[in-house]
Structure 1
Amino acid sequence: MTGDRLVAVLRAAHMTHLIDFMVMMPLGAHFIGAFGATPADLGRLVLAYTASAAVAGVLVSTVIDRFDRGRVLCVVYAAFVLSLLVTAIADSLDELVGARVFAGMSGGVLSALIQSLVAEVAPPGQRAGAIGRVMSGHALSAVIGLPAGLWVAAALGWQGPFVAVALISVGVFVGLVRNLPPVPPRRPQSASDTPARTSLRGLLGGRALGGFLLTFLVTSSCYAVIAYIAPYWVKNVGIAETSLPWIYLLAGGISFFTTPLAGRLADRHGRFPVFAMTSVLSAIGIMLATHAPVLPIAGALVVSSLFFVSVYARWTPTVAILADLPPPPVRGAFMMLNGVTTQFGMGVGAMFSGAVIGIEADGQLEGFGMVGIVATLLTLAGIALARRLTRSA
């Protein structure tokens, strides 16, 4: 599993679907111009993706452990490539919403599928390191994919990024077909049982449910801050919008190295110690990022990098802890449902921030500090829960 070629192709698959998801919001101005979209319509586009991804995750979880995991990933990735083309040819807002439903049902479950496959084929002593190397695709999507996608959109129109990612993804699909090892089904079909019933019996154990709660704490604490960090840093910290790409570029560049490092450390020193360390660093980063005063660009780069690098690094030992929780026959189903929990946590975090944050007369955001305090408390609760889960392993 740990072969460089396989890691590279899985990282690329992870990166491409993240670019597809991340590029949608920055393209809002293009959709307003092309379709007369309103802010509510932009929210509808995001909801179409996340809701369909959640539904697809639940459905796939009932059958994934009965098929070769590599073949399932190839089929879903092929559908994702098709969804990119369907998105690019959308000729109205309603067609675009429908295309994003399709994208959510395919691309929206790829992260969970990839994590599940890595957890299945990597030896336990190398699992966290393998996860970290693959998950560094998140940093690549921020450093290379998102800026490049926006540049292509400026040059060729909003359809350009989706066509470009589709072309790249065809090559990634060929790499998946050629390099994915066979992963025999964990649970053969039984005539006396149904997939859903068997999955539920295996997944409703205490440690598995605790894993879903850990995922919720990690994702909601992260996205409560990420959802509004850009406008806060522009309006309250005084960073020019033209300087924001440098913040993401530096943080993503560092994360490309620190995310795999967190995985290697977790294999060497244990899942929980590395999770606790990265969580403490992320709590510090959250508090600094949400309470930052007016800063020069150098100070902003330091604080923002601490926040983004720590929350990215925290996810690697988190996934490694989660992969150890369910019994192997239902690990795939568990990771798929965990992906649904991830989407739920992201949405709840963003909705909480929206309910707490207000806009003052001068355009500055108020209440972001309170968001940071709550996110920090959730982070600390995650440390306590992870300690309990790993002790009962």
Structure 2
Amino acid sequence: MRNVFLLAIGMFTLGFDAYIVAGLLPDMSATFHISDSQSGQAVSIFTLCYALAAPIFATLLAGKPIRTVLVLAFAVFTVANGASALATNYSFLLISRAAAGIGAGLFSPLASTAAASLVAEQKRGRALGITLGGMSIGTVMGVPLGLIVANEVGWQGAFWIIAVMGFITTIGMMIFFPDFSTEAPPSLRQRVAMMTNKNVLAIIGITFLASIASLGLYTYIASVLKNLEGIHSITPYLWAWALGGVIGSLSIGNFIDRTGRPALLMVGILAILSVGMFSLPYALAFPIFAYFPIFIWGAMGWASVAPQQHALLHTQPRHGKVAVALNSSANYLGGAIGAALGGMAMAQGLSSSHLPFAAGFLVFIALLGQWIILRKQND
């Protein structure tokens, strides 16, 4: 299991990097003299390249030794984060974030495949849980930890820390990781072919809409909070979101096992998430009450991932790995588009304090779509 934990550390670093920029937006905006909506595109381009890199580069590198590809992916990711720390202008920052997203997108699906291949069949669930858990914990804790780091060493220092973590992980894989053959990650052709299945497309569409709302809004959470009166420090609220995310992602599996109805659970999750987002601007008028909707947002946003994966595995038992990987791409692609749309809306004059209403409306649309899916299953 040592190598599985090594993969989990790598996945934690990727998740940490994916959304740490959301907590650094105000400082980055001040450095480059740009708006928060512009600096938020650094999140968009990372997550967009993350979502697209996996199928494209998996096809190009198919058949290569797994250790070689993992080391190459993390080396690209590490160097790109060092370049982000050294960025002297906004354009160079975007280029470096795109390169980091490509490295992350190549590493992530291959790490999951490798984790399942490193252990006996009866331990594969645990190995995958550890590996994917590293990603989710890194993602939900990226913003609050990023703020703490930025306050101490600046936003450039935050990227240097990620680069150091990446360097250590890369060296660890070069020294300790075994060189073996395994099944290649899903190819571009496999993912495109999967989109012709209506059931898969419907499930992934819900994931896509929910991630536009939840992860897209999360990109601007620092801006949303700082624009509201009565909040002197946003860090406690970010920890509330992170705590909700950890609890939601780790506990939802038990509910799935007990009910055996992921589609019904997804209806409840989306309903609660929409209420939480619509109530957020009102709750923030009373800072002490604001923790609850933010906690609910984090918990429900991350709890929505597992039911979708379970539904896809049930729908496509022979091609479950491809379907789940496609769902992961849709999740991060939705986050990228959500960040881009949020930035465009703010650039057109929409106040960041109104973004939760737009996000809540998208979740409500996803809820209606999920209700239709549930009704068809019951017919």
TM-score, shorter chain, exceeding 0.5: yes
Shift of 1:120: 7.7
Task: Kindly provide the CA deviation profile for residues 124-159 of structure 1, in whole angstroms up to 9, marking residues without a partner as x.
Answer: 99759944873364344544x544433433433432
Task: Kindly provide the CA deviation profile for residues 193-246 of structure 1, in whole angstroms up to 9, marking residues without a partner as x.
Answer: xx655664455333333343132132123235435555445545x44141x211
Matched residues in 2 for 1:386 and 1:205: separation? 17
Matched residues in 2 for 1:327 and 1:74: separation? 31
In structure 2, the CA distance between the partners of 1:86 and 1:387, relative to structure 1 (3 Å rule), is: farther
In structure 2, the CA distance between the partners of 1:7 and 1:282, relative to structure 1 (3 Å rule), is: farther
Partner of 2:274: 283
Shift of 1:108: 4.2
Establish whether residue 212 from structure 1 lines up as the match of residue 200 from structure 2.
Answer: no
**Alignment map for 1:335-354 (pairs within 5 Å):** 335-350=324-339
Partner of 1:319: 309
Shift of 1:173: 3.7
Matched residues in 1 for 2:354 and 2:99: separation? 37
Task: Kindly provide the CA deviation profile for residues 349-371 of structure 1, in whole angstroms up to 9, marking residues without a partner as x.
Answer: 345556777869xx784574354
Shift of 1:103: 1.0
Structure 1 residue corresponding to 2:364, chosen from 356, 365, 376: 376
> Does structure 2 conserve the Cα–Cα contact (< 8 Å) formed by 1:140 and 1:252?
no
Partner of 1:192: none
Give the residue type in structure 2 aligned to 1:381.
G
Give the residue type in structure 2 aligned to 1:53.
Y
> Does structure 2 conserve the Cα–Cα contact (< 8 Å) formed by 1:220 and 1:348?
yes
Task: Kindly provide the CA deviation profile for residues 46-69 of structure 1, in whole angstroms up to 9, marking residues without a partner as x.
Answer: 444344334423413535775676
Q: Helix, strand or coil: the match of 1:24?
A: helix
Shift of 1:11: 3.6
> Does structure 2 conserve the Cα–Cα contact (< 8 Å) formed by 1:140 and 1:256?
no
Give the residue type in structure 2 aligned to 1:107.
A
Shift of 1:315: 1.7
Cα RMSD, aligned residues only: 4.3
Partner of 2:182: 184
Partner of 2:239: 249
> Does structure 2 conserve the Cα–Cα contact (< 8 Å) formed by 1:216 and 1:344?
yes
Matched residues in 2 for 1:31 and 1:300: separation? 26
Shift of 1:322: 3.4
In structure 2, the CA distance between the partners of 1:40 and 1:231, relative to structure 1 (3 Å rule), is: closer
The more displaced of 221-230 and 304-313 is 221-230
Matched residues in 1 for 2:200 and 2:61: separation? 17
Partner of 2:161: 164
Q: How high is the TM-score relative to the length of structure 2? A: 0.76
In structure 2, the CA distance between the partners of 1:281 and 1:106, relative to structure 1 (3 Å rule), is: same
Give the residue type in structure 1 aligned to 2:199.
R
The more displaced of 151-160 and 306-315 is 151-160
Partner of 1:191: none
Partner of 1:222: 214
Matched residues in 1 for 2:127 and 2:378: separation? 21
> Does structure 2 conserve the Cα–Cα contact (< 8 Å) formed by 1:131 and 1:260?
no
Shift of 1:70: 6.6
Give the residue type in structure 1 aligned to 2:23.
P
Task: Kindly provide the CA deviation profile for residues 310-358 of structure 1, in whole angstroms up to 9, marking residues without a partner as x.
Answer: 21122222233335555656834x5554444234322443455567778
Gaps spanning 5+ residues in structure 1: where? Answer: 189-194
Establish whether residue 93 from structure 1 lines up as the match of residue 120 from structure 2.
Answer: no
Partner of 1:15: 12
Matched residues in 2 for 1:335 and 1:309: separation? 21
Establish whether residue 78 from structure 1 lines up as the match of residue 68 from structure 2.
Answer: no
Q: How high is the TM-score relative to the length of structure 1? A: 0.74
Task: Kindly provide the CA deviation profile for residues 292-325 of structure 1, in whole angstroms up to 9, marking residues without a partner as x.
Answer: 362242x222222122112112222223333555
> Does structure 2 conserve the Cα–Cα contact (< 8 Å) formed by 1:255 and 1:309?
yes
> Does structure 2 conserve the Cα–Cα contact (< 8 Å) formed by 1:136 and 1:260?
no
In structure 2, the CA distance between the partners of 1:321 and 1:80, relative to structure 1 (3 Å rule), is: farther
Gaps spanning 5+ residues in structure 2: where? Answer: none
In structure 2, the CA distance between the partners of 1:11 and 1:146, relative to structure 1 (3 Å rule), is: farther
Matched residues in 1 for 2:198 and 2:274: separation? 27
Matched residues in 2 for 1:170 and 1:269: separation? 43
Give the residue type in structure 2 aligned to 1:152.
V
